[in-house]
C-alpha cells in the first residue's frame, strides 16, 4: 500500500499533530517502511490463529458497582487552564471547565 | 415513480448502574457540574479503566431478552476523535467483537387509516458497551464553551438494527418497543428528557423493487418519538424530491430542528470521521461464561411476549387487551396484583386500561403514584361482583377513592350507594312507576319496545340509581306481561 503526502497530512490532522512540510516527507518514508514490514508479515500463514487483542492471555477483571469516588472538583480544577467562576461570570458557568468556543 | 424508504436505528441506552462504566464515580443525574467527574472521567495521565460488573450484567440481560448470541469473548476498542467533551481524545467502545451479536425484536405496527395493524420482526445486528462523553454548555461564558464531565464515562449499550424498517411508523414502533423492553428488563430508566434513551436514525430511499440500498443520511440524537416521526417523514420527502430533481444524495450526518420540522446537514468537516479504531491496551478481553449467562437468566423477569400469551391463556383476555396490559411492566404488575387480590380478570383488565389509565393520563401521574392501589381496586371490583353496588355507583366510589375519601365499604356507606336487591322493595318502586306512567304502559302493550326501556329508566330514577338493574328488568317484564 502506497501512502501519499496527503495521507500523512490527513493522519497528522486527525491526531492533531503539527507536521511541517519537511517532517511530512520524512514521516512518509518512515510510515511507508512500517507498512512494508507489515506487507512482509502478511506472507505468514495465520490460518486457525485467533487474532490477538491483548499481549496478556487473561480475561478482564470486573469491579463491583459501588460508588468509591468522592467529589474532588476543587482539587482537579486547580490545575485547569480556565474554569467557570459563578462570581465573575454568569452563575451557570460555575464549576465548568472552559475551552475556546466550539460551535455545534 | 414509486419510492421505498429504508430505515435502520442505532439507539444509545444509558444503563441503570450506580457508577460509571470504567470508574467508581456516581452517574446520578442532576449533580452540580464536574462534581461527579473523577480522575478517570477527566482523563488525568496515568489513570486506568476498570470495567463495571453491573454494566456487563445489563448487556447480558439485553442479549437474553432478544434471543441474541452473547459473545464468550468481546473486546474494547478506542474510537479516536477530538472534541472538548472527550478529554482522553478517544471513546472506549467495542468495534470488531461486540458483547451482543445478532438477535431480533418483534414489533406491533399500529393501524393507520385503512391499513390494518401488523406484526414485524426487526433484526438486531449487534449491541455493544461503551462510555458516554461529557456535555458541552454553550453560551454560559462569552466566546467560551463550558465542559461538564459528569456524564463522561456513563455506561451505554448501543443497540444497532439491520436496515429492516420501511416507514416512519415502523421505525417508531421499533423504538417504542425497544424503549419498553429495556425498562422491562430493568437495564435503562427510559427517561428521554434526561437523555437515557437516544436514537440515531439512518434513512435512505430507493426505487421500489430494487434490492440495492440507496445512500443514507443519519439523523442524530432524536429524543422523542414525535420528533422521530417528523424527522423521518421530512428526510424521506427531501431525499425523494432531491433524486426526482436529478440530484444525488451524499452520505451525511443531519440534525433535526424541532422548531422548523426540518433536517439539516452538519458541516462536512465535522462528519469527515476516520476513527482509527484499535483494541484498547488498557483493557483485557471481556469473557462471559455459560455460568454467567445462567446466573443472569435466573434474574430475568417474565418477558412481555410470554406474559401476553399467559394472560390470553390464563385469564381468557383478548390479544388486544393482553397486549395493552403488557405495554409496560408496571401496568402488567398492577393488573396481576389486582387479580391476585381477588378481582375477576376481565373487569380488572377493563378498569386498569379504562378508569385507572384515564385518570393517570389526565393527571400525568405514573402508576406508582396512583392513589388507588391494586388492592383497593380489587376491593371495589369485588363489591361490583357481589352486587353490592352497580357499575354506575362504582364509578362514583372510584372517584371518591381517587380523591382519598377512604376505603370502598366506608364510601359506599357514606354515599348511600348500596344497591337495592331486595325483591319486595324493588316491586314497590315498580308498582309506583307503573301507576304514575299509565301512558307508557299502554304504549308498551301496543307493541312499542322503547316504552319498556323508558319504564326501566323511571324505576332506576325512582330508586335513585340504587336498584339492581337486572332485577328491575326481570320484575318489570314479569309485571307487564302478567
- The answer to whether the Cβ–Cβ distance between A102 and B19 falls below 8 Å is no
Query: What is residue A91's predicted lDDT score, i.e. its pLDDT?
Result: 61
User: Do residues B439 and B467 both lie within one domain?
Assistant: yes
pLDDT digits (tens, 9 = 90+) for A12-59: 988 889 999 999 999 999 999 999 999 999 999 999 988 888 888 899
User: Which chain A residues have a beta carbon less than 8 Å from that of B32?
Assistant: 73, 94-95
Chain B nearest C-alpha distance from A98 (Å): 5
User: Which chain A residues have a beta carbon less than 8 Å from that of B89?
Assistant: 16
User: Which chain B residues have a beta carbon less than 8 Å from that of A68?
Assistant: 19, 24
User: Do residues B87 and B235 both lie within one domain?
Assistant: yes
**Look-up: residue for cell 465548568?**
A96
Domain termination site, one of B415, B434, B464:
B415
Q: Are B458 and B415 in contact (CB under 8 A)?
A: no
How far are the Cα atoms of B96, B230, B242, B256, B264 from residue B260, in angstroms, in the given order? 39, 10, 19, 9, 10
Query: What is residue B291's predicted lDDT score, i.e. its pLDDT?
Result: 97
Residue B165 DSSP one-character state: B
B65 occurs within a structural domain: yes
User: Do residues B309 and B375 both lie within one domain?
Assistant: yes
Whether the per-residue pLDDT at A104 is higher than 80: the answer is no
More confident residue, B464 or A95: A95
- The answer to whether the Cβ–Cβ distance between A14 and B80 falls below 8 Å is yes
Residue B176 CA to residue B190 CA, distance in Å, equals 10
B298 occurs within a structural domain: no
Domain termination site, one of B292, B327, B345:
B292
User: Do residues B99 and B115 both lie within one domain?
Assistant: yes
Query: What is residue A86's predicted lDDT score, i.e. its pLDDT?
Result: 64
- The answer to whether the Cβ–Cβ distance between B75 and A53 falls below 8 Å is yes
User: Do residues B428 and B411 both lie within one domain?
Assistant: no
User: Do residues B281 and B406 both lie within one domain?
Assistant: no
Structural domain for B315, as ranges: 304-415
User: Which chain B residues have a beta carbon less than 8 Å from that of A92?
Assistant: 137, 140, 146
Residue B76 CA to residue B32 CA, distance in Å, equals 30
User: Do residues B283 and B328 both lie within one domain?
Assistant: no
Residue B247 CA to residue B240 CA, distance in Å, equals 10
Section A85-101 average pLDDT: 76
Residue B117 DSSP one-character state: P
Q: Are A96 and B137 in contact (CB under 8 A)?
A: yes
- The answer to whether the Cβ–Cβ distance between A76 and B39 falls below 8 Å is yes
A and B: number of Cβ contacts within 8 A: 145
Mutation to test the B interface, candidates A101, A103, A104, most B Cβ within 10 Å: A101
Residue B395 CA to residue B382 CA, distance in Å, equals 14
- The answer to whether the Cβ–Cβ distance between A59 and B42 falls below 8 Å is no
- The answer to whether the Cβ–Cβ distance between B24 and A60 falls below 8 Å is no
Domain termination site, one of B415, B447, B464:
B415
pLDDT digits (tens, 9 = 90+) for B408-435: 999 988 888 887 777 888 888 888 888 8
- The answer to whether the Cβ–Cβ distance between B144 and A99 falls below 8 Å is yes
Establish how many alpha carbons lie within 13 A of residue B243's alpha carbon, considering only the half-sphere containing its beta carbon: 19
Helices (H), B207-356: 225-244, 268-271, 290-297, 304-315, 319-325, 329-340, 345-351
B442 occurs within a structural domain: yes
CA B436, B439, B442 angle in degrees (round to 5)? 120
User: Which chain B residues have a beta carbon less than 8 Å from that of A55?
Assistant: 281
Low-confidence ranges of chain B (pLDDT < 70): 267-273
Residue B356 DSSP one-character state: I
Mutation to test the A interface, candidates B146, B254, B282, most A Cβ within 10 Å: B146
User: Do residues B207 and B223 both lie within one domain?
Assistant: yes
Percent of all residues in chain A with a pLDDT value above 70, rounded to a whole number: 90
Residue A98 CA to residue B5 CA, distance in Å, equals 43
Chain B nearest C-alpha distance from A66 (Å): 6
How far are the Cα atoms of A42, B3, B56, B275, B277 from residue A30, in angstroms, in the given order? 19, 51, 41, 22, 21
Query: What is residue B270's predicted lDDT score, i.e. its pLDDT?
Result: 47
Q: Are B58 and B17 in contact (CB under 8 A)?
A: yes
Nearest chain A residue to B72 by CA distance is A59
User: Do residues B249 and B286 both lie within one domain?
Assistant: yes
Q: Are B321 and B349 in contact (CB under 8 A)?
A: yes
User: Do residues B373 and B466 both lie within one domain?
Assistant: no
How far are the Cα atoms of A46, A94, B4, B277, B344 from residue A39, in angstroms, in the given order? 14, 53, 44, 20, 74
Q: How many domains does chain B have?
A: 3
CB atoms within 10 A of CB B161: 25
Q: Which domains does chain A have, with CATH numbers?
A: 5-41 (1.10.20), 72-104 (no CATH)
B91 occurs within a structural domain: yes
Whether the per-residue pLDDT at A98 is higher than 80: the answer is yes
User: Which chain A residues have a beta carbon less than 8 Å from that of B44?
Assistant: 76
B299 occurs within a structural domain: no
- Reference B61, options B323, B306, B309, B292; nearest CA is B292
User: Which chain A residues have a beta carbon less than 8 Å from that of B54?
Assistant: 65
User: Out of B97, B140, B149, whose CB is closest to A93?
Assistant: B140
Nearby residues of A16 by Cβ (< 8 Å), 6 or more positions away: B82, B89
The C-alpha cell that represents B437 in the structure block: 306512567
Asked if this assembly's ipTM is beyond 0.95, the reply is: no
Q: Which 3 state secondary structure label does DSSP give B130?
A: strand
Residue B188 CA to residue B211 CA, distance in Å, equals 36
User: Do residues B253 and B115 both lie within one domain?
Assistant: yes
Q: Are B27 and B19 in contact (CB under 8 A)?
A: yes
B370 occurs within a structural domain: yes
User: Do residues B33 and B130 both lie within one domain?
Assistant: yes
The C-alpha cell that represents B470 in the structure block: 337486572
Residue A75 DSSP one-character state: H
Amino acid at each position: 500500500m502506497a501512502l501519499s503526502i496527503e495521507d500523512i497530512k490527513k493522519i497528522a490532522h486527525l491526531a492533531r499533530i503539527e507536521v511541517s512540510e519537511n517532517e511530512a516527507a520524512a514521516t512518509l518514508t518512515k510510515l511507508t517502511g512500517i507498512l512494508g514490514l507489515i506487507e512482509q508479515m502478511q506472507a505468514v500463514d495465520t490460518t486457525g490463529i485467533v487474532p490477538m487483542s491483548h499481549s496478556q492471555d487473561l480475561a478482564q477483571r470486573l469491579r463491583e458497582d459501588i460508588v468509591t469516588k468522592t467529589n474532588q472538583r476543587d482539587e482537579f480544577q486547580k490545575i485547569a487552564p480556565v474554569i467557570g467562576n459563578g462570581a465573575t461570570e454568569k452563575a451557570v458557568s460555575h464549576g465548568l471547565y472552559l475551552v475556546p468556543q466550539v460551535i455545534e | 415513480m414509486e419510492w421505498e424508504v429504508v430505515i435502520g436505528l442505532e439507539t444509545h441506552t444509558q444503563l441503570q448502574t450506580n457508577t460509571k462504566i470504567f470508574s467508581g464515580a456516581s452517574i446520578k443525574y442532576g449533580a452540580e457540574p464536574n462534581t461527579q467527574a473523577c480522575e478517570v472521567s477527566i482523563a488525568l495521565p496515568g489513570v486506568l479503566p476498570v470495567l463495571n460488573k453491573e454494566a456487563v450484567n445489563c448487556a447480558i440481560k439485553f442479549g437474553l431478552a432478544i434471543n441474541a448470541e452473547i459473545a464468550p469473548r468481546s473486546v474494547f476498542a478506542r474510537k479516536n476523535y477530538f472534541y472538548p467533551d472527550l478529554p482522553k481524545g478517544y471513546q472506549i467502545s467495542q468495534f470488531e467483537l461486540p458483547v451482543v451479536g445478532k438477535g431480533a425484536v418483534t414489533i406491533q405496527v399500529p393501524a393507520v387509516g385503512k391499513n390494518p395493524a401488523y406484526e414485524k420482526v426487526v433484526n438486531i445486528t449487534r449491541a455493544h458497551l461503551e462510555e458516554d462523553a461529557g456535555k458541552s454548555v454553550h453560551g454560559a461564558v462569552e466566546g467560551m464553551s463550558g465542559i461538564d464531565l459528569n456524564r463522561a464515562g456513563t455506561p451505554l449499550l448501543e443497540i444497532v438494527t439491520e436496515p429492516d424498517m420501511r416507514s416512519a411508523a415502523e421505525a417508531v414502533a421499533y423504538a417504542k418497543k425497544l424503549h419498553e423492553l429495556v425498562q422491562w428488563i430493568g437495564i435503562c430508566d427510559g427517561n428521554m428528557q434526561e437523555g437515557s434513551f437516544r436514537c440515531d436514525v439512518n434513512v435512505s430511499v430507493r426505487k421500489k423493487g430494487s434490492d440495492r440500498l440507496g445512500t443514507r443520511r443519519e439523523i442524530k440524537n432524536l429524543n422523542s418519538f414525535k420528533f422521530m416521526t417528523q424527522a423521518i417523514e421530512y428526510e424521506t420527502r427531501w431525499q425523494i424530491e432531491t433524486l426526482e430533481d436529478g440530484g444525488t444524495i451524499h452520505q451525511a450526518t443531519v440534525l433535526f430542528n424541532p422548531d422548523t420540522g426540518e433536517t439539516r446537514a452538519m458541516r462536512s468537516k465535522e462528519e469527515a470521521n476516520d476513527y482509527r479504531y484499535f483494541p484498547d491496551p488498557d483493557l483485557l478481553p471481556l469473557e462471559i461464561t455459560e455460568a454467567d449467562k445462567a446466573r443472569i437468566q435466573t434474574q430475568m423477569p417474565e418477558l412481555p411476549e410470554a406474559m401476553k400469551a399467559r394472560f390470553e391463556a390464563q385469564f381468557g383476555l383478548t390479544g388486544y387487551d393482553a397486549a395493552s396490559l403488557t405495554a409496560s411492566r408496571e401496568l402488567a404488575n398492577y393488573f396481576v396484583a389486582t387479580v391476585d387480590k381477588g378481582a375477576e380478570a376481565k373487569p380488572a383488565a377493563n378498569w386498569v386500561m379504562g378508569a385507572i389509565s384515564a385518570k393517570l393520563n389526565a393527571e400525568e401521574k405514573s402508576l406508582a403514584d396512583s392513589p388507588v392501589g391494586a388492592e383497593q381496586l380489587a376491593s371495589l371490583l369485588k363489591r361490583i361482583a357481589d352486587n353490592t353496588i352497580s357499575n354506575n355507583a362504582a364509578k362514583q366510589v372510584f372517584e371518591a377513592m381517587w380523591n382519598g375519601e377512604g376505603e370502598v365499604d366506608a364510601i359506599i356507606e357514606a354515599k348511600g350507594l348500596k344497591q337495592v336487591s331486595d325483591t319486595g322493595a324493588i316491586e314497590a318502586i315498580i308498582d309506583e312507576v307503573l301507576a304514575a306512567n299509565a301512558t307508557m304502559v299502554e304504549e308498551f302493550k301496543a307493541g312499542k319496545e322503547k316504552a319498556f326501556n323508558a319504564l326501566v329508566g323511571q324505576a332506576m330514577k325512582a330508586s335513585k340509581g340504587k336498584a339492581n338493574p337486572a332485577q328491575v328488568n326481570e320484575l318489570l317484564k314479569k309485571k307487564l306481561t302478567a
